[in-house]
Structure 1
Amino acid sequence: MLFSHLLPDQVQDVLDALPTPVFFKDRHGVYKGCNRAFARLIGRRRREIVGLTVFDISPEEYAKSHFDADAALMRSGGEQRYEAQIKRCDGERRHVVFHKAALYDAQGELSGIVGTILDITERKALEVQLADMAERDALTCLFNRRAILAHLEALHRDRRQASQSLCLMMCDVDHFKRINDRHGHAKGDEVLRQVAHLLSGKLRDGDRVGRIGGEEFLIVLASADLEDARQVAERLRQQVADLSITCAEGARLEVTISIGVARSLHQDEDWADVIARADAGLYAAKRAGRDKVIVADAHMLPANHKDWHQA
């Protein structure tokens, strides 16, 4: 038998040398032993763990799930592997992988369980970071085209089920090509970043904004009230016009946006059609002299109507 030639203290020394947290429990869920790495992970001394149950060292909502998993393992035997969260005694939450096995005595009777813990908190944080990066526009840090359209589609689906409408805006930086041509692409990028920062910072809870491409932005509003949406659009238009951006000569660079606003007409209307009407409102604002907000009516569609599902 492994370690059978070692004294108990020597076995403990071997376990303490392991960097992986190890613990033992009897069939009643009482901790009978653990190594130094386990004690560090939990945030208690070993003597403060042995003789206790998971309910003594973890909040009840965590302890209950751990206890139920242990009970399932002792009923079925074999091994068990799963991801979970633990909460240290200092309140810090950690993402971990439990790997447990049932223990049996010389007569083949269940005596408890032994387990190891792999801390994957940093890996989980990296996964979240990578997922966030995949949804973000590299220049502006807003949602990218795919992410904002996915948000719109999900919201529209929920609104349909509740027989509710939604409102959105299409925004475009006026004369952006002229800014690039006169002041360079670096200054054009700065304009996009500042406009994006303003839009994201001035929206309300529940509103979302993404960069659709180039100098175009899509704002999906939490409110379904069209007059409320128009007022939000007017406020954003004015705040962009008040931006203080200087060019190389020190003069103030005038930046404005045009905005088209639309609301879904009925619960069966496709979200792509709502965007198309907001886009039509945007182009109407451009034709009306720019730096304007136009609320699209039911019949307003652009001549070059896009398929936003494929765009």
Structure 2
Amino acid sequence: MLLLINPLRRPFNVLWLGLGLILGALGMAIALNLYFEHARVAAREQDRLSTQARVIAENTEYQLTSANLALENVRSNLAYWKDETGLQAGIRHLKAASIIPGIHSMSVVDKEGTITASTRPELIGMNLGSRDYFQEVKRHPNGDILYVSPPSEIVHGTFVINIIRMIPGEQGEFDGIVSATLDPEYFRTLMMSVQYAPDIWVSLAHGDGMMFLMMPERKNIDGMNLKQPGSFFMQHQSSGKKEEVFTGTVYATKEPGMIALRTIYPAAIKMDKPLVVAVNRDLDPIFLSWRRNAAVQGILFGVIVLASTMGLFLHQRRQRKLEKEAAQARALINQFSLALDRIPTCIYMKDQQRRYVYANRSTLELFQCSAEELSGSLDSRFFPPETVAQLHDIDTRVLIYGEDTAEKIIYKSEDGSTRIYWQIKTPIYEDDKKTRISGLCGISTDITEFELLKEKLEQQARQDYLTGLFNRRFFMEQGHAELVRAQRYGHALSVLMLDLDYFKKINDKHGHQMGDAVLKRLADVMRKILRTVDIIGRVGGEEFAVLLPETDLQRATEVAERLREETAHAVVTSVTGMPLNFTVSIGVASLEGKDIDLNTLINQADGALYQAKESGRNRVCLA
């Protein structure tokens, strides 16, 4: 068969074969790069979704642990509630225990199912004997278990979960329950705080499969039973793993997505049923940037294929149509340049000496120069020294070692603004044997706005949404660090616990909008009086905490008095134009010894606060 081949055709065939091999290798390299980039995008998103699910799970476990301690505390004090005076004290105790964020109400139920004490007076006397969660505890009594009821609908579309501790009788028999109702609003706020993209939704479900909450809310989702064959919920439970990430069609929404599931089961508590948190993101937005990148690389590859095949074709006809070949080549180059100019990403090339030899329109607009002015320029013409050093290191890895690089570059311009770019660079070889690198090709995409939707979310995770002060979790973290520092160096440290007097009456009489205005005004007063080094947090509905570094008890008392007086003179104007004054009660405690922890110090200040409220309010009491 070889004898039948025209020898004059061999150069033609060899050139086309070589070109096909080169294009095939380039196409394979691009495909592999896109494949691995797709995997990296998926892995990165899985990590982010898992992190958000972990944040919600850890917060929920903390709330369940706190609520469990409150239930145990209430249960241990039931013996003192026998007469009317004790019952009233018990109700106050219930209310104090139910101020934990995430708890809507607490009740004590006797063995017949009758509510004998509750934070909601209208419930006292109601019989719950027929309720499933009451019967569940009665059928399987165990004083060591924290029972978690499936979600139940209290009003149309609103579901609640009760957590329950059994009251044991003298012989350990069933003698009633202590119940706390989880507050859906707290979990809605918690769920919204981890939504770093508009296409994310978060849900919380009972271990039996019933949906408790989904944020953002959707119709006919709350109360749905997820325990269906083939559902991700069932796969997760069957695996026995604490956390997993799935990709595919989600049963609850019937939409394709990437979903992270995490089982909530605090290690310190024996729960009869766990909770399961899910954080989901739609697949399309996850891979949007990847698809754009794939389109860009596909266009580049297509242009390269078109240019190379056309060039080879024209080369073989060069002897007969030299002028036409030159014109076609120029037109092809113009088309290639026009295609690159329309891509909203910086694309450029450098030679072995790191000088710019090509840049598309986006790059020229960024550098504010023409193609002629850019040709032969170095990075030092456009970037500050620290950025030039970083770019030089990256270019060295590409030009000397032949690496493909992809990393983030932070660029600070002369006007003080900061831009963040995701930069990809690849070597350019002189021949198909890749024996010598002649330059590099780079693609840079501006990701500044994305890095800023991220920084803002991190800030929101630290702040109380209403007052702008630290939330309870972040206050405790900062406070613990300050306490460790004070104990290490023997510095003074004090804590103030503040509570708005008659805040419920303000809400009842003037509405919650006025109540919010009072909370904001108090936060402003605290910022005015306190130092920048002082740590201020909103730790409850109308309860605030202040940590005063390097401040002894006498100085802390003076600060508390000044804060109380300034608050008493503060005014909030109602919608009717009438001024409203309000006061606070303050408890003060100071660090004594090196063995005390932050919770103990706060509890001491909280006890002094209770004393201030019991002795008439609008006053300061010391622990």
TM-score class, shorter: 0.7 to 0.9
- In structure 2, do the counterparts of structure 1 residues 124 and 248 end up closer, same or farther at CA, with 3 Å as the change threshold? closer
* 1:96 maps to 2:400: no
Distance (Å, rounded) in 2 between the aligned partners of 1:119 and 1:161 = 45
- In structure 2, do the counterparts of structure 1 residues 274 and 112 end up closer, same or farther at CA, with 3 Å as the change threshold? farther
Matches within 5 A, 1:225-240: 225-240=552-567
Matches within 5 A, 1:170-181: 170-181=497-508
Q: Which amino acid aligns with 2:616?
A: G
Distance (Å, rounded) in 2 between the aligned partners of 1:41 and 1:121 = 14
The CA deviation at 1:165 is 4.6
* 1:184 maps to 2:505: no
The CA deviation at 1:260 is 1.9
Distance (Å, rounded) in 1 between the aligned partners of 2:397 and 2:363 = 22
Choose the corresponding residue for 1:148, options 475, 479, 485.
475
Q: Which residue does 1:33 correspond to in 2?
A: 358
Query: Which has a greater percent of helix?
Result: 2
Matches within 5 A, 1:190-205: 190-205=517-532
Contact kept, 8 Å, 1:80 with 1:99, in 2: the verdict is yes
Report the secondary structure of 2:539's partner residue. strand
The CA deviation at 1:180 is 2.4
Q: Which amino acid aligns with 1:118?
A: T
Q: What TM-score, normalized to structure 2?
A: 0.44
Q: Which residue does 2:568 correspond to in 1?
A: 241
Q: Which residue does 1:18 correspond to in 2?
A: 343
The CA deviation at 1:30 is 2.2
Q: Which residue does 1:60 correspond to in 2?
A: 385
Q: What TM-score, normalized to structure 1?
A: 0.83
Q: Which residue does 1:302 correspond to in 2?
A: none
Contact kept, 8 Å, 1:103 with 1:112, in 2: the verdict is yes
The CA deviation at 1:177 is 2.0
Deviations 1:139-182 (A, max 9, x none): 32322222222222233344455554533321111121222233
Q: Which residue does 2:436 correspond to in 1?
A: 109
Q: Which amino acid aligns with 2:557?
A: R
The CA deviation at 1:11 is 3.8
The CA deviation at 1:64 is 1.5
Distance (Å, rounded) in 2 between the aligned partners of 1:89 and 1:249 = 51
Report the secondary structure of 1:111's partner residue. strand
The CA deviation at 1:264 is 2.5
Q: Which amino acid aligns with 1:237?
A: R
Distance (Å, rounded) in 2 between the aligned partners of 1:187 and 1:38 = 53
Q: Which residue does 1:300 correspond to in 2?
A: none
The CA deviation at 1:46 is 4.1
Choose the corresponding residue for 1:279, options 606, 609, 623.
606
The CA deviation at 1:119 is 0.8
Contact kept, 8 Å, 2:397 with 2:403, in 1: the verdict is no
The CA deviation at 1:257 is 0.9
- In structure 2, do the counterparts of structure 1 residues 157 and 88 end up closer, same or farther at CA, with 3 Å as the change threshold? same
Q: Which residue does 2:460 correspond to in 1?
A: 133
Contact kept, 8 Å, 1:57 with 1:89, in 2: the verdict is no
* 1:85 maps to 2:396: no
Q: Which amino acid aligns with 1:92?
A: S
The CA deviation at 1:85 is 0.8
Q: Which has the larger radius of gyration?
A: 2
Report the secondary structure of 1:41's partner residue. helix
Q: Which runs of 5+ in 2 are unaligned?
A: 1-22, 24-303, 312-328
Deviations 1:232-276 (A, max 9, x none): 322222211111124567554231112222333244431212211
Distance (Å, rounded) in 1 between the aligned partners of 2:426 and 2:489 = 47
- In structure 2, do the counterparts of structure 1 residues 108 and 167 end up closer, same or farther at CA, with 3 Å as the change threshold? farther
Contact kept, 8 Å, 2:492 with 2:549, in 1: the verdict is no
- In structure 2, do the counterparts of structure 1 residues 251 and 223 end up closer, same or farther at CA, with 3 Å as the change threshold? same
Distance (Å, rounded) in 2 between the aligned partners of 1:274 and 1:44 = 63
The CA deviation at 1:132 is 2.1
Tell me whether 196-205 or 116-125 shows the greater mean CA deviation. Answer: 196-205
Q: Which residue does 2:11 correspond to in 1?
A: none
Distance (Å, rounded) in 2 between the aligned partners of 1:38 and 1:97 = 14
Q: Which amino acid aligns with 1:95?
A: I
